[in-house]
Amino acid sequence: MTPVIRIIRLGGVNCYLVAAVDCFVLIDSGTPEKRKALDAELEDAGCRPGTLRLIVLTHGDYDHAGNAAYLRDKYDTEIAMHPDDAGRVERADWSWNLKPKPDKFGFLFRIVALFIRPGEFDTFQPDVILEDQQNLSGYGLEATVLHLPGHTKGSIGILTADRPSSAAT
């Protein structure tokens, strides 16, 4: 069965609420500045404390991990991410474990980035360390973790199972 995915648009970043078996899995958490909008979307989807089984962070940037600690406390859930980005959220250091010179950003962008700083951030340690090809069925989600280093060394993707229905029509 293909999982139902709700896209939560929070400005410059999207989060994905996946309806898993008897629970939800949230992929990415947005920034603290968008917390009220995220809370409203989760509530509207029927996500309540006890039903959010896991928060998966695709990487440790502020705009993807900014609400993770808050949501872990509110929903009594766990945060999962790749170990190569864990230091970013433990230290709130967005340059931790990055290439010394990002190859995809031009000189002008790097200058502008010197003046743009993420807002306040609750640091945390991930509860679950995700590795390449790890199965998430233990969290009610038929999906596999794909390690996709590039944007950050710990970037991951989630490949959900897509099985045709066996029911007769």
Scan for tokens 């899995």, then name that residue. Answer: 25
What pLDDT sits at residue 167?
A: 44
Q: Is pLDDT above 50 for 157?
A: yes
What pLDDT sits at residue 26?
A: 98
Residue type present at position 47: C
The Cα 85–Cα 148 span in angstroms is 12
- The pTM of this model reads 0.86
Per-residue pLDDT reduced to its tens digit, 76-93: 999 999 999 999 999 988
Query: Could you tell me how many residues make up the chain?
Result: 169
What pLDDT sits at residue 106?
A: 62
Q: Where are the domains of the chain?
A: 4-160
Grade residue 151 by pLDDT with cuts at 50, 70 and 90: confident
Q: Cα dist. 103→67, 77, 90, 100 in Å?
A: 28, 36, 25, 9
Which CATH class for the 4-160 domain?
alpha beta
